[in-house]
Structure 1
Amino acid sequence: MEVTSGFILAVMVLAAVSSLQFFKGRKLNLQLMQHYLRAIEDVVRPEDKEYVWLGGYIGFRAYYKVNRENIRKFEYTLTLLPRQSILYFPIALITSRHDKLYVVVRPFSEIKREAHLIQKGYYRMRPRIENEELLKKEVVEIAGRQYEALYEKRRDVENLKALIESFSNPHNVKHVSLTPKTNVFYIQMKPEPETIGSDIERAVRFVNERLKESPFSP
């Protein structure tokens, strides 16, 4: 196989562009991680914290002990698109689609009933929900988009729906749930740098105020 000067030049250009993208994308992801960490921590105000690096520049996990109001623990995982890789980034846009934030809140109050709101068409393989066959099901519309509702009592769905509608961009919320078995309030969403603080503040207020109120009791 004859290697032409044009081929060598193309390889050199690709290598140069890849190197440039690596440093540019790495810097952006590090800035995003730092921004999200500070914004969320300013809202949650943990008394103790632990971070686990996920490797490379794709994100981290945070474990916060809060022990204040109705929040015992606040945990989240941030995963970012591989902006540092010019070759893998286009693939990730298809497979992962966007940056993701997974929030797990462990309240002091007891969650009595199961409830989920899942944006229709978001999951390629929907997560398994224990005892799903026992839950009522319907489709609800939130801010012009359809969500699959699974629940024991309709009023729990109404409360979760109101929470999603309060977010800066409701469409960014892909899955929100209340799980009594693990006593967890969960949100999966697409984070945005400009609105992450206000959105997390709404989630914290929901736990501290709504999750303690009578609609979630038997």
Structure 2
Amino acid sequence: MNNQLLIAIIIFVAGIATLQYFRGRKLNLLLMQHYIRSIQDVIKPEDKDYVWLGGYIGFRANYKVNRDNVRRFEYTLTLLPRHSLLYFPIALLTSRHDKLYIVVRPFAQIKREAHLIQKGYYRLKPNIENEPLLQREEIEIAGKRYEALFEKRRDLDKLKSLLESLPKPHNVKHMALTPKTNVFYVLMKPEPETIEESVKKIVEFTNRELKESPFSS
């Protein structure tokens, strides 16, 4: 390979990388703006705080709500590095998709633990402190297999009902009620067209189910 051809290849790759950077950066910024606007419109927080995660990969949001049964609504959005030509293919293999981690902190006390975990999603098994004490069962929801861990079946039934009510149930990878930290947790693949309805369902569940039995009594 002569020097001229090598230089031409380097210039071509650099041009593609630059184009990918600007296009990917714009898309990620648009996604972040959309998710902020959509979630904020649903939650209507009385106070809010955002922490930039660096680059164009996402942010953390902390909303003070203090309304109905929602004391705080927190979420972390991590996006694929669409602006990086070299790292994007690697991220598709490791991270696989954009991720939204939701933590709802209710006023009512969650009394028992329950988890729904999509089978095969985690490469490393999540650390569930009370796992040996929980009942275990495998169930199917919207064509996907989930591992259910729970203390009482009625808790599982409530989570299952919520999952089935979401616009795209298979986008939820892990849903949990954790009494030790008193949080309702959801890990999901976000999509712009369904994010608002999904968050509405999660908030409705918190307001309706988490301040009534079986969870809070």
TM-score of Structure 1 vs Structure 2, range by shorter chain: over 0.9
Deviation for aligned residue 1:6 = 1.2
Once the two structures are superposed, what CA deviation does each residue of 1:30-54 show, in whole Å capped at 9, x if it has no partner?
Answer: 0000000000000000000000000
User: What is the aligned partner in structure 2 of residue 206 from structure 1?
Assistant: 205
Deviations 1:159-214 (A, max 9, x none): 00111111111000000000000000000000000110010000000001111122
- Report what 1:147 is aligned to: 146
Partners of 2:141 and 2:96 in 1: CA distance: 21
Following superposition, the deviation at residue 7 of structure 1 comes to 1.3
Task: Provide the C-alpha distance between the structure 2 equivalents of 1:68 and 1:131, rounded to a whole number of angstroms.
Answer: 31
Q: CA deviation at 1:215?
A: 2.1
Say if 2:141 and 2:169, in contact at 8 Å, map to a contact too.
Answer: yes
Runs of 4+ aligned residues of structure 1 deviating over 4 Å after TM superposition are none
Taking the TM superposition and a 5 Å limit, the aligned residue runs for 1:28-107 are: 28-107=27-106
* TM superposition shift of 1:137: 0.4
Structure 2: runs of 5 or more not aligned: none
For 1:75 and 1:214, how far apart are their aligned partners in 2?
24
Post-superposition offset of 1:216: 1.5
Quick one: distance in 2 between partners of 1:76 and 1:108? 18
Specify the code of the residue in structure 2 equivalent to 1:63: N
2:108–2:216 contact (8 Å) kept in structure 1 = no
1:110 aligned partner: 109
CA-based RMSD of the aligned residues comes to: 0.9
How many residue pairs align between the two structures?
A: 217
Instruction: Tell me the SS of whatever aligns to 1:106.
Output: strand
d(CA) in 2 for partners of 1:156 and 1:85? 43
- What's the TM-score once normalised by structure 2's chain length? 0.98
Any gaps of 5 or more consecutive residues in structure 1? none
Question: What TM-score do the two structures reach when normalised by structure 1?
Answer: 0.98
Query: CA–CA distance in 1 between the matches of 2:2 and 2:174?
Result: 52
